[in-house]
Chains A and B, each alone.
Chain A
Amino acid sequence: MAERDRVDRSSSSHSMDKSITLPPDEIFRNLENAKCFAIDIGGSLTKLAYYSTVQHKVAKVRSFDHSAKDAAEDKLYEISEQEEITARLHFIKFENAYIETCLDFIRDHLVNTDTKVIKATGGGAHKFKDLIEKKLGLSYARVDKEDEMTCLIKGCNFVLRNIPHEAFVYAKHADSEFRFQNTHPDIFPYLLVNIGSGVSIVKVESEDKFERIGGSSIGGGTFWGLGALLTKTKRFDELLQLASKGQHTSVDMLVKDIYGGSYGCLGLTGDLIASSFGKSATADTEFSKEDMAKSLLHMISNDIGQLACLYAKLHNLSRVYFGGFFIRGHPVTMHTITYSINFFTKGEVQALFLRHEGYLGAIGAFLKGAEEDNPNQYSWGENYAGSSGLMSVSPDMNPMQRARSGTFDMLEMDRLERKLVNLPLLQDPSSYIPDTVDLTEDALAREYWLFCFEEALDGVVKRALASQPDIPEATERAEKFRQKYRHKLQTLRHQPFAYGSLTVRSLLDTREHCLNEFNFPDPFSKIKQRENDMALKYYQTIVKALELLSWEEKQFALVRGVLAGNVFDWGAKAVSDVLESDPEFGFEEAQRQLEERPWLVDAYDQWLERLKGPPHKCALFFVDNSGMDIILGVMPFVRELLCRGTEVVLASNSGPALNDVTNGELQILTGRIAEMDPVIQLGLKEDRLTLVQSGSSSPCLDLSRLDKELAQVVRERKTDLVVIEGMGRAIHTNYYAMLSCESLKMAVIKNSWLADRLGGKLFSVVFKYEVPPGDKHQSKDPVAPPTPS
């Protein structure tokens, strides 16, 4: 909605008065609960940061007391939606012209008056200190000026650590201009080249250790100042626009102007600039503004790039981030800096840029002010619903919004309950990419999935409404959700790079964020409940039937069971249509739908062979859906592992997403199954079956952001097998994930387009069993298969 609002107003932005009324719902959200303000006032933009507590609904499950006989009715557990308070960081960027309006607004809406100190940074902090103190009536409070560079570094560390795909490489002529980088598990050391009016080059070695190793006085101020003198153009943005239209070759002296061609023996090509503005010393001709601006841009970008390379080389650093107002989202300068770095390092160093570069100072100032809350001890996640995304206000991207006036850019970050870390079993954490297809680069796939999500929107709205049947205003909220998500999809259609690499995962996560935003915390809670109840009734039957099979038959039946269970997925339209129309569709039918072997990806024989070997020490199982999937598919499989002598760690989502089973639900389910099944009961009792939460609330799985406790359990138990189940976790993500132990990826393709792409058809099976190179398990002396119990 923020975007929509922006678009609407931009059309009238030319005539817009500066005393606009702010759309408070969107721009200063949760202001009434705000505390810990920080402000970064730059040359033209103000960045405001605050911390708020957000009250929103969360779905909770609570087990009925089954010892009391009267409660032993159909339902296994009760669902409630409770209000919960979580912490959120808000960052807003707007033109300095709005600073008074914004301060007034804050004063009028701020309920929490605990705020006594405002941290301020940036060049304008001095200038506006009095205004801030006066406007906010902080007669007993004060504005603390914080060191600019320290704030910048703190902010940079924060975004690099907490926002996946924060950094990107800019490639002007590539299919997708933005190539997002995987966040390296260790973000240090790096070089930050901040191009403000001058240039500062800072080497950052750890959270608290950084040093300004150099700099240059030739920076953005030089481009602006000299550019204004040469072209009589006042604004920085206009100068960049001029530059993007100019030809530098009429102003610069090129190698070929001196040599008549290239300077071959030095490998200097003829087009290289020998002397910037060299032709203006002799030529009598007048130069166009555009050409001069272009020449100036090249001169300054090349110079900065050269210095950055010299410093990177001297300090042996390969990660070089560029920021400052000279860069800030301007494709023109990102391109020239990238070019320069490529030229001077012969491609050895890549220029990196940051999606939230403009917020670094404000984030850093905020972090300094919020030290008592110790934000760095938590993990944070970018909230796609409340963030406007890259380039939302860039004049280059959106010519309709030539002037930035009236545009507010936002970033919101949610404090996550749990600290997130890498799965210790990743073969190479620095090269791990969760997502299988980058829709930013794959235009065809992008088209399909955007269409697919748009088409599914009505169904999601309906489901959301159904989850809150007794709340009248739910209709209104559901409608708002629809608009917001549809708008996000539209934005992504035009700017696939808005939130980093576009993936099926990011589309799913954005939807979850939007649902949460409008207080639909768990639209599938009732469906999940019903299906869990139903599946539980069959558990014993299934287990008994399995016991009758021979060892080999049983192994196959167990795998088929997991696959059949995985068919029950409300996230897949092909399935939800069936489930919607045929409530009787059951486990048996699902098994019949399965593809016969050989499967699309079929490593079953190797898996069976492996099972004949010694048991695994410990298996980590990432589970998928509620109901049939977890109870009739996964649990018998887990049971068999336990019987083999393998410890099992079941990892489920911390929060709800689609009909995926949550940790809360799984606790209750496992408890009930234990009552029926001594194997599970013993497993729990002996701590050989452990339930952990993944730290995620996504239908997909990012193995680089998992609950810290999970990582610890995995390490302690010497986990040697990872099982990943379902489309979201094993196909859309992690299909190519390389683990340092054995892994099993199982899924049923419940989307005909995707099946087509993979060369299969609807309900094709992927059964991928992988052993890391050098692993000796396979070649060990064959051991007699254990006697079936």
Chain B
Amino acid sequence: MDKAKSMMDKKGPAAPFHHVSNGQSQRAPSFHSHVVLNGGCNNTGTSNNACENSHVLHQQQHHHNNHHHDDAECNGGSPAKRCRLRRRTDSTVKRHRPPFPWFGMDIGGTLVKLVYFEPVDITAEEEQEEVENLKSIRRYLTGNVAYGKTGIRDVHLELRNLTMCGRTGNLHFIRFPTQAMHRFIQMGRDKNFSSLHTTLCATGGGAYKFENDFMTMADLELLKLDELDCLIQGLLFIDRIGFNGHPECYYFENPSDTQACVKKPCSLVDNPFPMLLVNIGSGVSILAVYSQDNYKRVTGTSLGGATFLGLCCLLTGCETFEEALEMASKGDSTNVDKLVKDIYGGDYERFGLQGSAVASSFGHMMSKEKRDSISKEDLARAMLVTITNNIGSIARMCAVNEKIERVVFVGNFLRINTVSTKLLAYAMDFWSRGQLTALFLEHEGYFGAVGALMELLKTSEEQP
């Protein structure tokens, strides 16, 4: 009931547009757009840039509401409307565009996710004006795929030639361990980042934890943003613009058949709500999302990505997620887990349990003989399967309790982790008898950072 109510509340009064270039109607449109991508729009000339300033006053609500009031629209609405929007907002663009560099940062428990917008439409004039350290940052980030020992740019995720806030450029996706945060801040100091007068938008717990360090070490003030707000905004945005002409979202066809199970692209765009959003980072948060800015956190679990990695490190001596996954891919969890058939000799028919179902994760490890002979690969695989199945199980129960059929899994735990994605797809399908669909997104763990970046583009406009 609360949900329905707050969804209605969303239609609050819209503030009038600050600048209307051609005297057209001042009536607020039913959706607002300040970020328009070149994907579906005919972007010739300069008039294709729509970066408008609008914000909706919200009423306080029971549920969490995003502080975002703007839709990032690609080609929604009628062509005429799009046209109108473009023209109307054209003149505001230059005046309120935030200064470069454009970053969005998500500081999690294990990883820092950074998105960087690299403008490619820099004019000669601009190039001349560009200060040296800004240039240096741009070149450093775009010229490398690895930074220091642990920073990595996920080149394959780069979004090319997109337009944000009137500028065309590429969106880069960079990650590094949260442990290296202080080195990162030092770098910011060394590059005299504070002189650029940019706002550093940060989300995730680290935005709070490191706020003081940013200030004292690098004289940088963070704009702290709620991580779940950012996650949803970023996710909806990326899904809408697509992945360089391909859909961002995918699912698995025939999830119960390992041979015929294939990844299939799809899109959330048309009707993404309601969705159950399962974010698997260090821990897991599960959100029920009813609209772009109406959602609630249903529950969470502490058995997440860092649990997998942490226990794998302790059990196998591995050091990285990649190593752990590599081992897991070679292992066999049935040497570690006790299956139903290990206990009952076959299916447990009285309760309709298949013999191949896991009865007790790590159950075989109660026996000393088996502990002594088990391989690291098997342990890693069992750990992965245990954590994944558990998340699947909780997500499924939440979906049933919340009466939501679409379950979207995101978070860096799923990075290069087809074992888990396929297992989740299978678990959702099998236990719900086909009622639930598991959906995945290509930019797994970066949505919070994208959401933070979007906030930068918005907030700057609010201070003309």
Binding site for B on A (CB under 8 A): 43, 123, 126, 147, 149-150, 196-198, 200, 212, 214, 216-222, 224-226, 228-230, 234, 251-253, 255, 257-261, 263, 265-266, 273-282, 287, 292, 299, 302-303, 306-307, 310-311, 313-314, 344
Contact = CB atoms under 8 A, between A and B. Distances in A.
A273 B108 CA distance: 14
A310 B208 CA distance: 32
A666 B306 CA distance: 74
A253 B363 contact: no
A604 B428 CA distance: 70
A302 B362 contact: no
A275 B360 contact: no
Contacts of B359: 197-198, 217, 221
Given A212-B351, A221-B338, A279 B362 contact: no
B297 interface: yes
Contact of A259 (B205, B304, B306): B205
B460 interface: no
B337 interface: yes
A309 to B, nearest CB: 9
B371 A229 contact: yes
Contact of B302 (A216, A263, A274, A287): A274
A252 B299 CA distance: 18
B363 A197 contact: yes
A307 B206 CA distance: 30
Given A228-B366, A292-B314, A222 B226 contact: no
A225 B363 contact: yes
B307 A149 contact: no
Given A217-B358, A274-B109, A226 B365 contact: yes
B93 to A, nearest CB: 33
Nearest to B370: A225
A278 B301 contact: no
Nearest to A199: B360
B174 to A, nearest CB: 19
A198 B363 contact: yes
Contacts of B198: none
A570 B351 CA distance: 57
Interface residues of B, number: 63
Contacts of B305: 275
A277 B210 CA distance: 22
B366 A313 contact: no
Contact of A226 (B311, B313, B353): B311
Given A217-B389, A229-B315, A258 B108 contact: yes
A451 to B, nearest CB: 47
Nearest to A216: B393
Contacts of B389: 217
B441 to A, nearest CB: 21
Given A253-B283, A278-B307, A228 B205 contact: no
Given A218-B390, A221-B360, A265-B226, A253 B109 contact: yes
Interface string B200-216: 00001110111100000
A278 B313 CA distance: 11
A307 B351 contact: no
Given A278-B110, A281-B309, 10 more contacts: A147-B350, A149-B351, A198-B360, A217-B357, A259-B206, A259-B209, A273-B302, A279-B310, A303-B390, A307-B397
A228 B365 contact: yes
Q: Which among A221, A222, A281 has the greatest number of chain B C-beta atoms within 10 A?
A: A281
Interface in B362-378: 362-366, 368, 371
B361 A218 contact: yes
15 contacts: A150-B350, A212-B352, A212-B353, A225-B366, A230-B315, A257-B109, A265-B64, A274-B283, A275-B109, A276-B303, A276-B307, A303-B301, A314-B400, A314-B401, A344-B299
B159 interface: no
A405 to B, nearest CB: 19
Contacts of B226: 265
A444 B305 CA distance: 52
Contacts of B368: 228, 234
Q: Which 8 A-B pairs have the closest CB atoms?
A: A225-B365, A258-B205, A260-B209, A221-B360, A225-B362, A277-B310, A221-B363, A280-B310
Interface in B127-155: none
A216 B390 contact: yes
Contacts of A200: 351
B360 A281 contact: no
B371 A277 contact: no
B169 interface: no
A211 B398 CA distance: 20
B304 A275 contact: yes
B69 to A, nearest CB: 18
Contacts of A212: 351-353
Contacts of A265: 64, 226
B233 interface: no
B20 interface: no
Given A198-B363, A224-B366, A311 B397 contact: yes
Contact of A310 (B297, B313, B350, B398): B398
Interface of B: 64, 108-110, 177, 179, 204-206, 208-211, 226, 228, 282-283, 297, 299, 301-307, 309-311, 313-315, 336-338, 343, 345, 350-353, 357-366, 368, 371, 379, 386, 389-390, 393-394, 397-398, 400-401
A224 B367 CA distance: 9
B350 A275 contact: no
A219 B393 CA distance: 14
B52 to A, nearest CB: 28
Contacts of B363: 197-198, 217, 221-222, 225
B63 to A, nearest CB: 12
Contacts of B386: 217-218, 222
A121 B282 CA distance: 41
Nearest to A277: B310
Given A274-B283, A282-B110, A302 B299 contact: no
A251 B368 CA distance: 25
A162 B425 CA distance: 46
B397 A299 contact: no
Contacts of B310: 251, 275-281
A258 B315 contact: no
Contacts of A311: 397
Contacts of A220: 360
A292 B393 CA distance: 25
A222 B360 contact: yes
Given A229-B371, A260-B209, A198 B338 contact: yes
B362 A221 contact: yes
Nearest to A226: B362
A306 B304 CA distance: 14
A276 B303 CA distance: 6
A333 to B, nearest CB: 16
Nearest to A344: B299
A255 B108 CA distance: 11
B366 to A, nearest CB: 5
B311 A280 contact: yes
Contacts of B365: 224-226, 228-229
B129 to A, nearest CB: 38
Contacts of A277: 306-307, 310-311, 314
A307 B394 contact: yes
Contact of B350 (A149, A216, A253): A149
Given A255-B205, A277-B306, A278-B307, A306 B299 contact: yes
A217 B303 CA distance: 14
Contacts of B303: 218, 276, 299, 303
Nearest to A213: B351
A229 B302 contact: no
Q: Which among A147, A218, A257, A299 has the greatest number of chain B C-beta atoms within 10 A?
A: A218
Contacts of A222: 360-363, 386
B175 to A, nearest CB: 14
A225 B360 contact: yes
A662 to B, nearest CB: 47
